[in-house]
Structure 1
Amino acid sequence: MERAPIHGIEVFLTIVREGSMRAAAEVLGVGAPAVSLQMKALEDRLGVDLLFRTTRSIEMTDAGRVLFEAAAPAYRDMVHAVRKSQESAKSTTGTLRLSLSRGAYITAVAPVLAKFRAENPVITLDISWNEELVDIVREGFHAGIRLGDILAPDMIAVRATGPVPSVFFASPDYLKEQGTPKHPRDLLKHHCIRYRQPTSRAIREWWVTEKGQETRIDPPSRLVFDTVVGVIQAARDGHGVGWSMRTTMEEHLRTGELKTVLEPYARPLPPFYIYYPEQNKRVECLRLFVDCLRQQHRQKKAQR
């Protein structure tokens, strides 16, 4: 399919609308000779004369009238569409679509949600909870929020939290029956409940900190879930020891359904980041949300 000479048509329409090449040149911000050359290039490409040129005026030929009557409305619609697109990107209204895990919501989003909604009451947040790392561009999301070690590549990433505290946990009944582990090596003798990352299908490694050194441990497990909720529920049911971020556990720890173990050894998880493609950085509602996350992170960092 032959590409339409959009720029040349814009020059032609401007000449007709303004009544002269000199006036068109002022509107287009170029010199009159450049307008004349662009007009000639358009006529040469189309193989027809579009304008009668005299020393006093410019008139359209029959071919010029056909082009003007067809192109002028289409050009106005195109200009209107461009303006609407620009206004949409700059608008503080509309819908912001986010993909994130339950842990990301509890840790990064929940602390800023009330403030963001109060400051931006006409922005709708459309949030999809998903443990799986989805293709946010293909699925139509503006941004995603994930731990820093599982971010999608080729994205702008902005830190939303500090390192995320983690905990080892088990139910009181399990600990009463099996005993409480005192050292990470004791986990090799316990029933451990592991988490499989849905996207990579890899079982998440367990890490501990001892005397300033980080060590990976790989306790055997006969119970694996691809959701953190599954790991927590199995631990509540007394099936073994789990490991997860503390923010997802607070309610169960407060009620006593679960107890922490090995607290001095639990290594923090990586920070959460909000990430998005380059083309979304000018979306105003996303910029406002990113700024809100940044401000929250700075405030928490200053309080430490």
Structure 2
Amino acid sequence: MARDTISDLSTFLVVARERSFTKGAAKLGLSPSALSHTIRLLEERLGVRLLTRTTRSVSLTEAGERLLLTIKPQFEEIEMALSALTALRDKPAGTVRITAGEHAAEKILWPAVERLLPDYPDIKVEIVVDNGLTDIVADRYDAGIRLGEQLDKDMVAVSIGPEMRMALVGSPSYFQRYPTPVTPQDLTAHACINLRLPTYGGFYAWELEKDGRELRVRVDGPLAFNVSHMVVNAARTGAGLALVLEDMVREDILDGRLKRVLADWCPPFSGYHLYYPSRRQLSPAFAVLLDELRKSDTMKPPLPFEHSPGSGPKP
């Protein structure tokens, strides 16, 4: 097979994955017109059309689908073999792509990367913050970080953090205007700050649990955000009640800036896990990062129930 054909097939693979000449060109460091020309020459050489182009999208023809299914595993094997060669270097090298939610990226992933990079200058880490449940195989990530309850069964999962809890909080100024809720049903009379999550297809329904009884409460209020730190900021100003990860408001609770309510309706749950496909060979660079994440001590364990300052009366 001619060297040009191998190069063009590799280029086709990028466009097929991205479903876009613009995105594919950005990944390859080419102009969209040069990339389109390369694909056109490949189609002429093969004698079939591989891609259907419109003004807004790129889709695969039947021939393109068949070619993708044929060459994709072969190129992935080559990539894994090349990655494995870095084990022969004095120090691991290569790029590690990881997706994580906003909180996990800030509290777990970034501290580990910050500790690792000075000792491994040849490792590059790409962190993509995404609050949705990303398909790490389809999107070509080495791994993802999610809560244990959100993991697929065909993934290898490694615990990288302690158990966690949610915290339902409001500011002292808010509770000067509204009574303290003593049951989840009381929340319907409160101004609550909503969080829009792509995994829920809308607003997050507040998940509460006590003595095995689980409730999903649809709340209402004047504000909604799609990132948790804005929810916390709004709660601090007295704009409403917020249900967020305890770690995000731990110091606020301890210092009295936020008052916790219904604490016994927020039991601990499984914390963050790093997950990756069971069939994927780990590169030396990824193995180094995994070891660093296992040593992560940046998150504190949940506050005990008896030490939840500001909790309202127990229902």
> Normalised by the shorter chain, which TM-score bucket?
0.5 to 0.7
Tell me how many residue pairs correspond in the alignment. 222
Which residues in structure 2 correspond to 1:156-171 (within 5 Å)? 156-171=156-171
Normalized against structure 2, the TM-score is what? Answer: 0.58
Within 5 Å, which residues of 2 pair with 1:82-97? Answer: 84-88=82-86, 92-97=92-97
Deviating more after overlay: 83-92 vs 169-178: 83-92
- SS of 1:136's equivalent in the other structure is coil
Give a deviation string over 1:136-169, Cα, whole Å, max 9, x none.
2333321110112333564322222232122111
Which residue is equivalent to 1:100?
Answer: 100
Residue 172 of structure 1 contacts residue 259 of structure 1 at CA under 8 Å; is this kept in 2? yes
CA offset at residue 81 of structure 1?
9.0
Residue number in structure 1 paired with 2:284: 284
Q: Go from structure 1 to structure 2 and tell me whether the alpha carbon gap of 1:127 and 1:89 turns closer, same or farther (over 3 Å shift).
A: farther
Deviation at 1:245, TM superposition (A): 0.8
Contact 1:232 1:242 in 2 (8 A): yes
Aligned pairs for 1:102-181 (under 5 A) are 102-110=102-110, 112-117=112-117, 119-152=119-152, 154-181=154-181
Contact persistence 1:187–1:219 (CA under 8 A) = no
C-alpha separation in 2, matches of 1:98 and 1:184: 37
Q: What's the secondary structure of 1:273's corresponding residue? A: strand
| 1:188-218 Cα shifts (integer Å, max 9, x gaps) | 32122232321341543433344x4343141
2:220 partner letter: S
Deviating above 6 A after TM superposition, structure 1's stretches of 4 or more consecutive aligned residues are 80-83
Query: Structure 1 residue 90: deviation in Å?
Result: 6.5
Q: How does 1:246-257 map to 2 (within 5 A)?
A: 246-250=246-250, 252-253=252-253, 257=257
Instruction: Name the amino acid aligned to 1:218.
Output: V
Over the residues paired in the alignment, what is the CA RMSD in angstroms?
A: 3.5
Quote the offset at 1:118 in angstroms: 5.1
Give the whole-Å Cα distance in 2 for the aligned partners of 1:90 and 1:230: 46
In 2, the alpha carbon distance for the partners of 1:209 and 1:196 equals: 21
Shift of 1:172: 2.2
Deviation at 1:93, TM superposition (A): 1.6
* 1:21-76 deviation per Cα after TM superposition (whole angstroms, max 9, x unaligned): xxxxxxxxxxxxxxxxxxxxxxxxxxxxxxxxxxxxxxxxxxxxxxxxxxxxxxxx
User: Could you say which residue in structure 2 is the equivalent of 1:220?
Assistant: 219
| Maintained 8 Å contact 2:205/2:219 | no
Decide whether aligned partners of structure 1 residues 250 and 118 sit closer, same or farther in structure 2, where only a CA change above 3 A counts. farther
The CA distance in 1 between the partners of 2:241 and 2:209, in whole Å, is: 17
Q: What is the SS of the residue equivalent to 1:125?
A: strand
Asked if structure 2 preserves the Cα contact closer than 8 Å seen for 1:148 and 1:272, the reply is yes
- Work out whether residues 105 and 127 of structure 2, in 8 Å CA contact, stay in contact via their aligned partners in 1: no
Q: Deviations over 1:167-199 (max 9, x none)?
A: 111122211111222343332321222323213
Rate the CA distance shift 1:229–1:293 in 2: closer, same or farther, 3 A.
same
Shift of 1:271: 1.7
Q: Where does residue 55 of structure 1 map in the other structure?
A: none
Distance 2:133 2:79 in 1: 33
Structure-1-length-normalised TM-score: 0.60
Question: What pairs with 1:1-304 in structure 2 (closer than 5 Å)?
Answer: 84-88=82-86, 92-110=92-110, 112-117=112-117, 119-152=119-152, 154-210=154-210, 212-222=211-221, 223-250=223-250, 252-253=252-253, 257-296=257-296
**Taking structure 1 as reference, are residues 257 and 124 closer, same or farther at Cα in structure 2, changes over 3 Å only?**
farther
C-alpha contact 2:142 2:276 (8 A) present in aligned 1? yes
Say if 1:290 and 1:170 are closer, same or farther in 2 by CA, change over 3 A. Answer: same
Identity %: 28
Q: Using the TM superposition, give the Cα deviation of residue 100 of structure 1 relative to its aligned residue in structure 2, in angstroms.
A: 0.7
Report how far residue 253 of structure 1 moved.
Answer: 4.5
Distance in 1, matches of 2:82 and 2:290, equals 23
Partner SS, residue 192 of structure 1? coil
- Structure ID, larger Rg: 1
Which stretch has the larger CA shift, 171-180 or 183-192? 183-192
